[in-house]
Each structure stands twice: as structure tokens, then as C-alpha cells.
Structure 1
Amino acid sequence: MLEQAKETQQLFIDIDEGRIPKRVPVYTWMDITYIMQYAGEDLRRIQWDVDKFKDMIEVGAKSFQSDINPATFTRIMPVYNILGAENFRMSSSGQIQHPEVVGMKPEEYDELIADPYKFTHDKVLPRLYKNLDTNPVKRSMVFAKAMKAHSDIYGQIFPHHDLMAEKYGLAYDRVGCQSIAPFDQIADQFRSFSGISIDIRRCPDKVMEACEAVLPMMIKAGIKPHSSKQKRTFIPLHMAPYLRQADFEKIYWPTFKKLVEALCAAGAYPLLFVEQDWSRFLDHLNELPAGVQMMFEYGDPKTIKEKVGKKHIISGLYPLTLLSGGTKKECIGKAKEIIDILAPGGNYIFTFDKVALNQVDANPENIIAVNEFVKEYAVY
């Protein structure tokens, strides 16, 4: 299957190099929790059993007709447990949730701006991870233990992904690391959704200064030795659709644009998850350096193709909700509709508009049927 893996990988290489591939590549994203449920496992138990992670990776590789293994690990519960995480918790059903948390008080902007690394280490992390809220010696031990666990677990996950790609003729994992827009970092982990919504009205200049202060941290997070067009920096975009146009242009956009420009200049091309509806900001997105992949959640496919499809790689827009309740015929019909709009001229990877987290999010039979259809129909 190694030769088939090379052929599959070439589909994505052609896209990244601005060529039209033999057919539209299929890239299905699933959180590992979806695959665990598909395999009949109990989420409350298996997420602690690291030895079974490899089995789940193989289930993903062989089951869903994606050109890249859909198994995505975003939250590793043993690491969060070591840290005593307050910002990511397991629910009674086994799903990991992100409650609204506050890592920074509104009066602490000046501290963050003066030294973002020190402030994050001394103030934010102990508030988000209760086991770090201790004396420096114990804090160092907890942090070292968590980093060791993180390295050990991902040290098994990444090589096994590559092995499964070669075994089942798939392309290698397209994501090499993750970063986040400076404004989203402050909103998600520092001030919370409600907190940042107040701050942009009460002290917008401080928020802008804070975005500039954390920008170098976000750039550093997004550039790795293996970064490339085929090993992209994943950036989920959160807050922009909830902002007024003026606030977006003044506060959100400047540092986000600088982040993407810095990543591209270093060869760490981004894969943006454009969450919610960015229709107001398509002209801004088209200002980014050419070759950024944008996985859209909502929006008009024709407009998105016209606005950004010549310069950037489009993905997303296929409604995951249809895969949950629709018939196979309906699901395939929607795939044809979207492909007919987005595939002409290239610069298109077929993906769904969301990542499947729970078994109820999508009928696996519909996923398989749609992916098989795309491979047969979307040939150039």
C-alpha cells in the first residue's frame, strides 16, 4: 500500500503547489472520541487507556474512506488530570468540555503587556490548572510530569499515524502543530467570552496592546522544524463573528494577519478553521498570503469560491448535520452540489463543516457513502 499512499499524498501536494490534482482530495476530520464510540468503546474508560489509542487510530484509518486518517487527538485526558485542569473537563458521558474560565482579572492587562511569558506562568496557568497553584518546587514537578506524559503519548500517536497511512494507502497527517489568533488566545484562556466582550468596550487600547504582547508567543507556537505546506499549523478562529466590524478591523485583524504572515514567511502554512460565519470578512481573508487552507463552517459556497478560491485552498461547508439525519441519497446529492461549485479550477479539498465529536453528530454509513462518492465523482 506504500505506492498507493504516495499517490494519495500527491493529491495534497498538487493542491499545495497550485496544481490541479487527479481528483478532489477527501479529508474527513473526527475527534478520536467519535471513533472510540464507533468502535463500541466507553468514553469514560478508554480515554484513560493510552495503550488502546493505537487501535483507535487503525479503526479510523480503515473505516471511513478518507484520504487522510480522520483520527484527531485534541484533548488528552491523562495530561489534563495531572495538571488539575479547570478549562477542560470530562462530562458524565465522557465528552471533554471547555467551560468558561477566567485566567486573568480585568485589572491585570498591564502585567500581561509588560511580560506575557512571566504573567502566563505566574498567574494564568495556576488559575487554569489547579495542581500548578502551589509552591515553585511542586509546580515544577507537576509541570514536568505533565510534559513527560504529553511527550510519551504523542510519541506513540504520531508514528502510528504514519504507519497506518502506509498500511492503508493514505496521505500523512496534514497538521503539524497548532497556534491561535492573539485575540482568541486572550478571550479563550485569559478573559473568557463574556470578559473580553466587556473589555473591548471598556479598554479597547489595552486589549490591542495585549494582542501585540502575546503575538510572539503565538508565532513561536506555530512554527516547528517539520512545518511545511504539507504539515500545516492549525488555527481555530473563534471570536471574530461575534465582533462588530469596527472592532474586528481595529482589534482582531491586525495581529491575526501578522501571525499568518509570520507563519507563511517561515514556511509554516496555516490551516484555518473558519468557525461560524465569516461572510463579512472574506475580503480580509483574501489579503492573507497565498496558499492558506481555510476550512469554512458557514457561508455561501459561490461567494467564498469567488472571493478567496483563486488565492487560497477552500475546504469545509458540507453540513455535518445532514450526515446525522439525512438519507444516503440526500447526503450524496449535497456533496455533488458543493463539489460542482467549489471543485472547478482546483484549490479545493472536500471536508465537512465541523469535526465529528459524538456518534450522534453523523451516521458513519453516510460518511462512508459520501466519501466514496466524492472519490468517484470529483475527478478532474
Structure 2
Amino acid sequence: MTDVAALAKEREQLFRDLFSGKTPKRVPVTNPATLEFAIQYYGEDLAEAQWDVPRLEAILDKFCQDFPTDTTPIGSLRLPAFYQMLGSKAIVMGSGGFMQHPEVVGLLPEEYDDFIAAPYDFIIDTVLPRLYTELDAEPSQKALVLAKAMKAYYDDYACLGQIRDRVNAKHGLVAPMVALTEAPFDFMADFLRSFKGISSDVRRYPDKVLAACEAVTPIMIKKGKLPVPGVLGFTFIPLHMAPYMRDKDFEKFYWPTFKTLVEECVAMGQNVQLFVENDWMRYLDYLYELPENTIMRFEYGDPKVVAEKLGKKHIISGFYPVTLLQTGTEEQCIDKAKELLDILAPTGKYWFQADKSIISADKEGKVANNLRAVLRYFMENGSY
């Protein structure tokens, strides 16, 4: 076995142990900087590079060489060809080259009953043509547009997957298989009613919101299923609306279908990783109820309280503030790493990920230098 193959096997074992509830040899490390960051850091044009997928291989290769990590740092990249071909209003490229999700409305208030009766059909027939304008066409044209867009999608992501596999093999990295889904209430907010719309609806049409969340739950479960469920894969669920809700509304509208979603994903034999966005400290008792070894990446909150309340049952991640990499000295950044190791590593279930992804590279290179020092510190000092 080569040194790189042995390194890959060792890293894979870290995640096998972590995801199955065992204390790994050391704290696994994931680089919070994404491929978008790398494109800019190495002086490439972000908008142009995303249209030329083979060009990304040299960037990702150097990125993995320069920044220590256990997993492939591709991150949040959404390739634009698919979205442009569909005339997307839901995912669009901004002037800086970043793919963004603006506030959109795919479902009108007076259409709740039709949606609840047949949510999948309503999404296909009504929501998609509203949010992807090239699908607002007669059937043969719609089929042609969709076929071309899906061909571009599969070509681009197949190429990116091959790049990832070659880079992983070269650097001994791990790439857990990931499926993406949403909490039913968040899906209603993100793509159907908008954040503003759903916040109004819980007061104006509470019964319809409840019924809609229940109706869409089977679709969210199906979307969260991995092609081959297993210990080295997980369903990723970013959590959006809960911190902006009243406790009684969270308990009534958000929690029941979200809990069902997580439980069903785990029942399929796969892990679940939650991106616990904003501040969920008032909901920790709810999070504790989720299946054992749910991965929870926290954006904000008190890591000591989270470790005490959740650390014995669940896998804890996040908390490291990426803003510190921009504002702090190298010493301050490493001191924060020491602090989180001291608090979270004793749980035996700590995975180093930052509080959010880093998508922009500063011209001065301060973020990159501090990030490199922090990643190296975790690699060298995270052993149990």
C-alpha cells in the first residue's frame, strides 16, 4: 500500500468511527474554504471558471496541496450552465460570479389547496415554469429545454466528480457521499412562499401551512435519500427559518415534519448532517431528541452548553468564526482553535468545520494565511 493510499484509509477510518459513534484517532478536519474561494485565491475569474469545468482541476489540486484537510474542499459550488438554460429565477449568478438564491414565490396563497392535494404535480406543472422561465412553454419545447439542461448538468457534474476522484487519489482525501434536502417548512419558505410569505401565512392560513408541510414531507424524504446509503454518506439539511420563529410556531409548524424527515433518513441507513444556521440555543432540547449521532454544525451559540447538552449523544461541529480569520492575528486564530478543542474534543464526537463556508478570498491573503495556520493546528493537535 502506498503512503497516499494508507493516508486515505486512515482518513476514511476517522469518519467511519465518528459517524458510527466511536471516538476516532483524532478530530477530523474539513477546510471551510470552498472551490469558489480557491478560484479567486489563485487569481482566476470566478464567473468564467465555472463555465469551464476541466479548468477547475488544476485549481482544486493546488488548493488541496496548500491547505491541509481530510475532505475534498469543493463546498457550495453550483455550476451555472444548467440554471441559465432553464431561465432560472430561483438560482442566479450575481455580478461577482457567485450563484445566489433570491427571494422567490412559486406558490400563491390562493393555490394552497391545489398544492396540498397533489404537491408533486403542482411543482411540476406550476412552480417550475414560474421559477424557471424556459419551462413556461408548450410540452415539446419544454421537454427539449429540460433535456438540454439535464445533459449539461450531468456532463458538468460528472466532470467535476472525476476531477474530485483524481484529486482525492493524489492527496489521500475523503469525499463522503452527500444528498441534499430541506426541512419541509424551509422548503415552503425557500422556493414556494418566500421567507416573507410563509411568515405571514402562519398567522393567516395556519391550517393550510401545516397541511402543506405534511404534504411535501414525502418529497423531502425522497430527495434526501442517498443512492447507496451507508456509514460514509450523509443527508445534508441546512436549517433556515427556525431562529426567526416564535417558540410556539416552531413547535407547531417546523418541528414535527422536520423531526420526521431526520428520522426517516436515519431509518434508511444513512447519517444526517444539519447546518444549524443562526442561533438555535433555545431549541437544544428539541435537537437532543433527534436520532443518535446526528451531525450538528452550529453557526452561533455557546459551545460549552452545546457540548454539555448534546455532546454525549450527537456529533458536534461548527462554532469556529470565519470572521476571525479576517480580523484576527494568527495567534488569536490559533487561540480560538485551542479553545474549541478544549471544549468540544472531550465529547469524543467533534468534527472541525467552521461556523460557515468561506467563499470570498481577500486580496491581502490574510484569511488564507490564518486559515492555513488553523487547519495545520487542528491536524497536529487534534489527536485523542
TM-score with structure 1 length normalisation? 0.97
Paired with 2:107 and 2:167, the residues of 1 have a C-alpha distance of 42
- State whether residues 53 and 160 of structure 2, in contact with CA within 8 Å, keep that contact through their aligned partners in structure 1: no
Q: How far apart in 1 are the matches of 2:300 and 2:145?
A: 41
Paired residue for 2:66? 63
Q: Distance in 2 between matches of 1:239 and 1:346?
A: 30
- Root-mean-square deviation (CA, aligned residues, Å) is 1.4
What amino acid is the match of 1:27?
A: T
Closer, same or farther in 2 for the Cα pair 1:324/1:227, shift >3 Å? farther
Identity of aligned residues (%): 50
CA offset digits 1:267-289 (Å, max 9, x no partner): 12111111000101111111011
1:205 corresponds to? 207
Match for residue 367 of structure 1 among 368, 371, 374? 371
Q: Deviations over 1:174-204 (max 9, x none)?
A: 2421111110001000000110110011011
Structure 1 residue 141 and structure 2 residue 144: aligned?
yes
Say whether the 8 Å CA contact 1:64–1:368 is kept in structure 2: yes
8 Å contact kept, 1:20–1:347: yes
Q: Matched residues in 2 for 1:143 and 1:56: separation?
A: 31
The farther-off stretch of 317-326 and 16-25 is 16-25
Moved more, 187-196 or 68-77: 68-77
1:297-376 correspondence runs (5 A): 297-360=299-362, 363-376=367-380
Code of the residue aligned with 1:92 in structure 2: it is S
CA distance in 2, matches of 1:242, 1:345: 29
CA separation in 1, counterparts of 2:146 and 2:355?
35
| Corresponding position of 1:377 | 381
Q: Which runs of 4+ in 1 moved over 6 A?
A: none
Distance 2:179 2:270 in 1: 9
1:227 aligned residue = 229
Q: 1:95 to 1:86 in 2, by over 3 A?
A: same
Kindly report which structure 2 residues correspond to 1:103-114, keeping only aligned pairs within 5 A, or say none.
103-114=106-117
Q: Report the alpha carbon displacement of residue 169 of structure 1 after superposing the two structures with TM.
A: 1.8
Count of residue pairs the alignment pairs up: 379
* Equivalent residues of 1:132, 1:142 under 8 A apart: yes
Question: What amino acid is aligned across from residue 150 of structure 2 in structure 1?
Answer: M
Q: Could you tell me how far 1:73 is from its partner in structure 2? A: 4.5
Shift of 1:362: 7.1
SS in 1 for 2:276: strand
8 Å contact from structure 2 (residues 47, 97) kept in 1? yes
Local SS of the residue matching 1:359: coil
What residue is the counterpart of 2:54 in the other structure?
A: 51
Is 2:30–2:69's contact at 8 Å kept on the other side of the alignment?
Answer: yes
**Residues 220 and 289 of structure 1: is their aligned pair in 2 closer, same or farther, counting only changes over 3 Å?**
same
Matching residue of 1:167 = 170
Checking the alignment, whether the CA contact within 8 Å between 1:60 and 1:71 is kept in structure 2 is: no
8 A contact 1:35–1:71 mirrored in 2: no
Measure, in 2, the Cα distance between the counterparts of 1:200 and 1:29.
Answer: 35
The answer (yes or no) to whether the contact 1:335–1:370 under 8 Å persists in 2 is yes
Q: CA 1:226–1:56 in structure 2 vs 1: closer, same or farther (change >3 Å)?
A: farther
2:307 and 2:347 in contact (8 A); partners too = no
Distance in 2, matches of 1:362 and 1:95, equals 21
Do structure 1's residue 34 and structure 2's residue 27 form an aligned pair? no
Structure 1, 157-166 or 233-242: larger mean CA deviation: 157-166
- The structure 1 residue matched to 2:159, chosen from 156, 180, 189, is 156
Query: What is the alpha-carbon distance in structure 2 between the residues aligned to residue 346 and residue 273 of structure 1?
Result: 20
How big is the shift at 1:162? 2.5
1:22: Cα distance to partner?
Answer: 1.5
Q: Which of the numbers 118, 123, 130 marks the counterpart of 1:120?
A: 123
- 1:377 corresponds to which letter in structure 2? N
SS in 2 for 1:41: coil
Q: Who is 1:129 aligned against?
A: 132
1:29–1:312 Cα change, 3 Å = same
Instruction: Summarize the alignment of residues 64-79 of structure 1 with structure 2, pairs less than 5 Å apart.
Output: 64-79=67-82
Deviates more, 1:148-157 or 1:323-332: 148-157
What's the secondary structure of 1:201's corresponding residue? helix
Structure 1 equivalent of residue 294 of structure 2: 292
CA gap of 1:362–1:297, structure 2 versus 1, over 3 A, is farther
For residue 133 of structure 2, what is the amino acid of its counterpart?
K
1:247-304, Cα deviation, whole Å (9 max, x unpaired): 0000000000000000000012111111000101111111011111111000100111
C-alpha distance in 1 between matches for 2:74 and 2:369: 17
- Which of 158-167 and 34-43 deviates more? 158-167
1:134 alignment partner AA: A
**Does the aligned pair in 2 maintain the 1:175–1:234 contact within 8 Å?**
no
Give a deviation string over 1:39-60, Cα, whole Å, max 9, x none. Answer: 2101121111122132333233
> Which runs of 5 or more structure 1 residues have no equivalent in the other structure?
none
